[in-house]
Amino acid sequence: MEVKFNHVTLTYPNGIEVLHDMDFDINDGQLVALLGPSGGGKSTTLNLISGLLSATTGNIYFGDKDVTKQDALERGVGMVFQNYALYPHMTVLDNIIFPMKMAKIDKATRKQRALDLAKLVRVDDQIAKKPSDLSGGQQQRVAIARALAKSPNILLLDEPLSNLDARLRVEMREEIRRIQKETGVTTIFVTHDQSEAMHVADKIMVLNDGRIQQYDEPQSLYENPSNQFVANFIGEPALNVISARQLGPGVTQLFDGEVATIGIRAEALTNEVKEPAIKMQAIVHEVLSFGRDHQATISVGENQLIATDVTTTALINQEMTLFAALSGVYAFDKEGQRLPLRGERT
């Protein structure tokens, strides 16, 4: 099912507009992540899609059908929340069966469907257990199976991994990807974790302050951010940001427009010769090793930067020339919008 927002806004009764001119398409069968900081509008957008909230202006379409005035039940969506909300007195199988029972699907059909879904989410060996007997990851799988039980048009996942430990989060994000590909159901996934979104989603919608900052494929967000917020939010370590005045006209003249700040990816900084690159004088304070990864703390004037491609042979506490590969350097104007290199377009 395709999802389309046509210039949708949401204004609270106190007059505060919390979502501004939301205009986007989610293609049938895609897995899209809504990514951004707390309060950015992710869950609010998800609740508009589900029908739990109503748009103030604009229209919402599922395929060719205008569902703007329909409630959550009429829209036929499946939802999995941060709190999986499984019925504690029911077995795994009965939890999956329950929505089909409420829909008055015949007993034999709903049981077979529940067994098939249990197998899909890999809890078919747990169907006689109660939720309290399951791990967090197993409970999440049951919640997904229950959400899929009525063959929803769209599956909505609101921070479904936040209650899991780090290793299980990695495992479950791959499971969500697998389940989505096997079912083909259009899935919208809310997260504040950019690594999670980058690994799971076909496309990512970056939200902040109720506005879409950029809506693009994961790698394109990283390599071609449209503004400073996206460049800062996507990537680890975070973007190094330097005032344009610190680097001088030789750098700022590389870009079209009035440059206010320069952003440099940590992996773009190196003590080895790179071309094309920006040269700068810097002091390397320390280089730490984390297995196969390295991270250097350096200073350029009064700016403290992080670099991940400075070799462990770099001279510590001595001034040296560093190179910032232009492929990882971005310029932004005073509003934070990205400026293109002269003769190129972002």
Instruction: Provide the pLDDT confidence category of residue 215 given band limits of 50, 70 and 90.
Output: very high
* pLDDT, position 138: 87
Residue 156: Cβ-neighbour burial (10 angstroms; 0-12, 13-18, 19+) = buried
How do residues 114-146 score in pLDDT, each as one tens digit? 999 999 888 999 999 999 898 888 888 898 889
Asked: is 3-228 a CATH 3.40.50.2300 domain? The reply is: no
Q: Which two tokens stand for residue 9?
A: 């806004």
For the full predicted model, state whether its pTM sits above 0.75. yes
pLDDT score recorded for residue 58: 94
What does the mean pLDDT of the chain come to? 88
Asked if residue 278 lies in contact with residue 329, where contact means CB atoms within 8 angstroms, the answer is yes
Quickly name the fold that domain 238-339 has.
Answer: OB fold (Dihydrolipoamide Acetyltransferase, E2P) (2.40.50)
Mind listing the pLDDT tens digit for each residue in 40-54?
A: 999 999 999 999 999
Q: How many whole angstroms separate alpha carbon 322 and alpha carbon 341?
A: 21
pLDDT at 320: 83
Domain residue limits, the chain: 3-228, 238-339
What digits encode the pLDDT tens for the residues 10-47?
999 998 999 999 999 999 999 999 999 988 999 999 99
Q: What CA–CA distance (Å, rounded) separates 193 from 146?
A: 25
Residues composing the chain: 346
pLDDT digits (tens, 9 = 90+) for 262-311: 999 999 988 887 778 888 888 888 888 788 788 888 888 888 999 888 77
